């Protein structure tokens, strides 16, 4: 190459800049809030870390590699990106710890009816009641990547029985008693006291949990989603919650985000909503930069990259 490598790094904290520069000595590394702020540099960019839309991808004629700060890349897989020869990597694994913690929090809140305590506190009411405990219950985890594996470990530590559902059920995971495949959704759902979604949103997982799955669940069971909305069919979930097919839900990820103000999920008494906030930690961002720095070192050295996305599979 007769010019320095041009690396556009979008939306990172200022304190991360020095170590990113150090990963590519001699490269022209440009930091900006977004691609729109460096539109004039896109035609010469070799690498972009951050979000691009279809028009920006088309403008980046020299582009060879895009890194997504997110672990799930469904929003990055627009048709033009899928069709392009540009390599796409992601920060898979960066949010596993906080997502697993968030799922545990939602399960505990649902099982102990925590909103009732919060309402009582607001009214200064001493409201004691009988609630559940997680020990001895069954946690069914949809998706056994980083977050699912981390959740399995934590659920087992709470003396929960752990089941898993994944595209390749022959791949076993520590702490998981039994693994199910996508064609066994109803049998899996029937066993669980909590069905927890940690999976990526792909063409195969979209709508995986529909009427039949929610009908199969126990009326005492709860649904929790911390990865991506759309894996459960919203209309089926609403019906299940309204008609008592299941006891409740904890929703951090939603099919439409931000969740519209007129969404019926807001007002359901058996639902806890958080604003896709489960992995919004400084450590998550730091681990995403760790992946990019390692990959940038590899890219400069001509070595294979980590976390390369299969654009057809969607993860």
Examine the residue annotation and report whether 41 is marked as an active-site residue of this protein.
no
Could you give the number of structural domains in the chain? 2
Tens digit of each residue's pLDDT (9 = 90 or more) over 220-262: 999 999 999 999 999 999 999 999 999 999 999 999 999 999 9
Are 40 and 138 members of one domain?
no
Whether residue 312 is contained in a domain is answered as no
Give one word for 276, left, alpha or beta, with left for phi > 0 and alpha for psi -120 to 50: left
276 is catalytic: yes
Domain assignment present for 315: no
Helix 96-111 and helix 146-157: axis angle, to 10°? 50
Backbone phi, then psi, for 149, in 5-degree steps? -65, -45
Could you tell me if 150 and 217 lie in one domain? yes
- Pick the catalytic residue: 228, 287, 298, 303? 228
40/105 same-domain check: no
pLDDT band at 2 (very low <50, low <70, confident <90, very high): confident
Structure tokens at 255: 């099919």
One domain, residues 149 and 269: yes
| pLDDT per position as a tens digit, 116-148 | 999 999 999 999 999 999 999 999 999 999 999
Q: Do both 177 and 45 map to the same domain?
A: no
Asked whether residue 104 falls in the same domain as residue 73, the answer is no
Identify whether residues 260 and 178 lie together within a single domain.
Answer: yes
- Is residue 120 located within the same domain as residue 208? yes
Q: Is residue 307 part of a domain?
A: no
The verdict on 237 and 128 lying in the same domain is yes
- Domain annotation covers residue 140: yes
SS3 85: coil
Residue 228 appears among annotated catalytic residues: yes
pTM given for the model: 0.93
Q: Is residue 53 in some structural domain?
A: yes
DSSP state of 152: H
Q: pLDDT by residue (tens digit) across 37-84?
A: 999 999 999 999 999 999 999 999 999 999 999 998 999 999 999 999
Residue 137 and residue 17 share a domain? no
Long-range residue pairs from 245-249, CB within 8 A, at least 24 positions apart, any chain: 245/214, 245/215, 245/217, 245/219, 246/214, 246/217, 246/218, 246/219, 246/221, 246/222, 247/110, 247/219, 247/220, 247/221, 247/222, 248/110, 248/222, 248/223, 248/272, 249/110, 249/222, 249/223, 249/224, 249/225
We report the CATH number of the domain holding residue 116 as 3.40.50.720
Q: Which domain holds residue 255?
A: 96-273
Any domain includes 189 = yes
The answer to whether residues 185 and 264 belong to one domain is yes
Question: Which of 119, 257, 286, 303 is flagged as catalytic?
Answer: 257
Q: Which of 67, 102, 254, 276 is catalytic?
A: 276
Does residue 155 lie in a domain region? yes
């Amino acid at each position: 190459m007769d010019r320095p490598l041009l690396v556009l790094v979008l939306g990172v904290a200022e304190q991360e800049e020095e170590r990113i520069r150090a990963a590519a000595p001699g490269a022209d590394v440009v930091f900006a809030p977004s691609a729109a702020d460096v539109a004039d540099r896109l035609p010469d960019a070799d690498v972009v870390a951050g979000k691009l839309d279809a028009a920006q991808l088309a403008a980046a004629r020299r582009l060879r590699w895009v890194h997504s700060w997110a672990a799930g890349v469904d929003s990055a897989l627009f048709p033009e990106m899928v069709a392009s020869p540009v390599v796409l990597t992601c920060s898979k694994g960066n949010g596993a710890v906080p997502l697993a913690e968030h799922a545990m929090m939602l399960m505990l809140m649902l099982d102990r009816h925590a909103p009732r305590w919060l309402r009582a506190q607001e009214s200064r009411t001493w409201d004691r009641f009988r609630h559940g405990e997680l020990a001895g219950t069954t946690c069914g985890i949809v998706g056994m990547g980083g977050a699912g594996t981390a959740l399995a470990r934590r659920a087992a530590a709470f003396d929960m029985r752990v089941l898993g559902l994944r595209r390749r059920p022959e791949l076993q995971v520590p702490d998981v008693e039994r693994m199910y495949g996508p064609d066994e959704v109803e049998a899996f759902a029937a066993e669980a006291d909590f069905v927890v979604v940690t999976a990526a949103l792909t063409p195969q997982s979209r709508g995986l949990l529909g009427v039949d799955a929610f009908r199969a669940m126990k009326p005492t069971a709860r649904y929790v989603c911390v990865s991506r909305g759309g894996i459960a069919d919203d209309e089926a979930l609403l019906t299940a919650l309204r008609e008592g097919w299941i006891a409740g839900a904890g929703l951090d990820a939603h099919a439409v985000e931000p969740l519209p103000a007129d969404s019926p999920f807001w007002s359901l008494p058996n639902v806890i909503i958080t604003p896709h906030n489960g992995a919004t930690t400084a450590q998550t961002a730091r681990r995403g930069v760790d992946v990019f720095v390692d990959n940038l070192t590899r890219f400069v050295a001509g070595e294979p990259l980590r976390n390369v996305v299969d654009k057809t599979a969607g993860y």
